[in-house]
Structure 1
Amino acid sequence: MTPLGEKLAARIRANGPITVADYMAACLGDPEHGYYLVREPFGRGGDFVTAPEVSQMFGELIGAWTVAVWEAMGAPAAFVLAELGPGRGTLMSDLMRTARLRPAFVEAAQVHLVETSPRLRAIQAETLAAVGIAPTWHEHIDDLPAGPLIVVANEFFDALPIRQFVRTATGWAERMIGLDETGALAFGLRPASPPPGFGSDVAEGQIVETAPAATAVMATLAGRIAAGGGAGLFI
């Protein structure tokens, strides 16, 4: 078992089975062993290639969109330009390359990045320093400052933890991560209420996924934009 597996097994022995969401959150964000904190996931040397790493045109087109949105907002003299999960900073760098066609936009933009990985923050700082951008980092979306907001995110929501529910012969159950008879991590079921929006019409054996973390993030952003103005673009 990996060091993270041992850590999760000890947690389960102490406190009982955990949800799939808790398991995913630990696998991605554990301070010692989390995937995004200790691995290099992006690019040719990593595990996957995202659109900003394929072509600078992707970020430049999003830059054109942000400028158009800013102008439609009445060109506020100051606004928050935020990116969620900014990877290596490539998207923001390419975005601002296009945005420099409108110097007033660059002057008004206060760049904020929501990133939990210190390792990725260092890479983002290096990428953006090369193009003259000094962003402010945040652990949580709630920490973004008040005011008009333009927020972008590429492949962010699909990486957030999910919960899984199964329709069984006796009703709904939630899939949990526990330990089998050998002490290895294993799936199990715990009786649960139906996931929101689903009921007895779901076939037996079907798995339904919900994303409470994504819902909470989107609710926060929607409230911010409704109150202070702005827009979001999520790929």
Structure 2
Amino acid sequence: MQPERFDHFMARANAAYYARGAFTRDFVTAPELTQVFGELLGAWAKIVWQMLGAPEDVMLVEAGPGRGVLMADALRVWNAPSVHFIESSPALRAKQARRVPRAMWHDSLDSLPPGPVILLANEFLDALPVRQFIRGEAGWMERHVADGAYVDLPTDYSLPDAPVGSVREVNEPALEFCRKLAARGGVGLFIDYGPMHSGVGESVQAIRHGEYADPLQYPGEADITAHVDFGAIKAAVHTQGPVKQNAFLTALGLFQRSDILAQRHPDKAQDLKLAVHRLTAPEAMGSLFKAIVVCPESLPGLPGFA
């Protein structure tokens, strides 16, 4: 078997995995924890729309919308003029249609019609394929996959020098997505996990049946992800942030909205309390996850980033 570049392997494996549409049994994302998450993002998007001058042809877009839970919650707060999903999986599109039947679907950002865009993306960039490089004795090598094992081959990809044994990951699709969004003047809120600044190191991991797995062992049956390089995004396009997820959600009113819901639905109070803790606690998702906005330089400080 010819060695396959790791990012190509990761792209194939994740495409097969998400095409099945059964990822929710392997992990739980923030929108699945509490409706408040999506409601806050809907309120955020509405304020951004107002800051843009409330254009009538604005599109509210979600990339990687999962089962459509986030968007369904967001639309309770802001009934956006038009709703779009960037999603290629037929199985997931069917689930999204049940929650947001008026949505329009696209395989990529490129097929969105012209017009102003406010985009939401939660745990989207981390699933895009990364190239992985290892510093060998003679220079940088690129990781490939052959017969279920890693193979390191010479590369002419330009990277800063580093000590032997160092690992560097480059997410070219994530940077391309952000550049295309910026080029059309869109505003995109990305919430994902990774370090605040660019860092060297290996972060690829796989989750299968709710447990960590070998990324190479079950292609198409496990979710393969890597930390998002927020520093690289900042270097590529104009951004606000990143900020830690707990600071972002707290600024948007997570605690206040959750308290109101708990008072209205006492039977759900404990679940709401646990969800808020998981979203904000430093040892849970609060510090590991970050929020960053790709936006035009002309926009003032946006909610959660001012």
Choose 1 or 2 for highest CA Rg.
1
Question: Per-residue CA shift, 1:91-142, capped at 9, x if unaligned?
Answer: 0001010114xxxxx3xx211100010000000000123xxxx111011111
The yes-or-no answer on 1:18 pairing with 2:35 is: no
- Partner deviation per Cα, 1:155-204 (whole Å, 9 max, x = no partner): 0001100010010001111011123xxxxx21111111244xx322x110
SS at match of 1:121: helix
Aligned pair partner of 2:149 in 186, 194, 216: 186
DSSP-derived class of the 2:163 partner: coil
**AA aligned opposite 2:51:** A
User: Partners of 2:160 and 2:61 in 1: how far apart?
Assistant: 38
Equivalences for residues 16-95 of structure 1 within 5 A:
16-29=2-15, 34-42=16-24, 46-95=25-74
- Output the TM-score relative to the length of structure 1: 0.79
Give the letter for the 2:188 counterpart: G
DSSP-derived class of the 1:188 partner:
strand
1:143 to 111, 134, 151: 111
Identity of aligned residues (%): 43
Q: Which ranges in structure 1 are unaligned for 5 or more consecutive residues?
A: 1-12, 101-105, 180-184
Contact 2:21–2:89 (CA under 8 A) maintained in structure 1: no
CA deviation vs aligned residue, 1:143-162 (integer Å, no higher than 9, x gap): 11111110110000011000
Q: CA deviation at 1:39?
A: 4.5
Alpha-carbon deviations, 1:41-79, whole Å to 9, x = none?
11xxx0000000000000000111111011111111111
| Native 8 Å contact 2:135 2:163 kept in 1 | yes
**Alignment partners' CA distance in 2, 1:204 and 1:156:** 32
Q: Which amino acid aligns with 2:49?
A: W
Confirm whether residue 234 of structure 1 aligns to residue 190 of structure 2. Answer: yes
Partner of 2:236: none
Q: How many residues align?
A: 191
CA change 1:39–1:64 in 2 (3 A) is: closer
1-side partners of 2:56 and 2:108: how far apart?
A: 25
Aligned to 2:184: 224
RMSD: 1.2
Distance 1:168 1:73 in 2: 49
Aligned to 2:172: 212
**Do 1:84 and 1:153's aligned partners in 2 also have CA atoms closer than 8 Å?**
yes
How much has 1:19 moved relative to structure 2? 0.8
Unaligned runs of 5+ in 2: 192-306
Q: Secondary structure at the match of 1:26?
A: helix
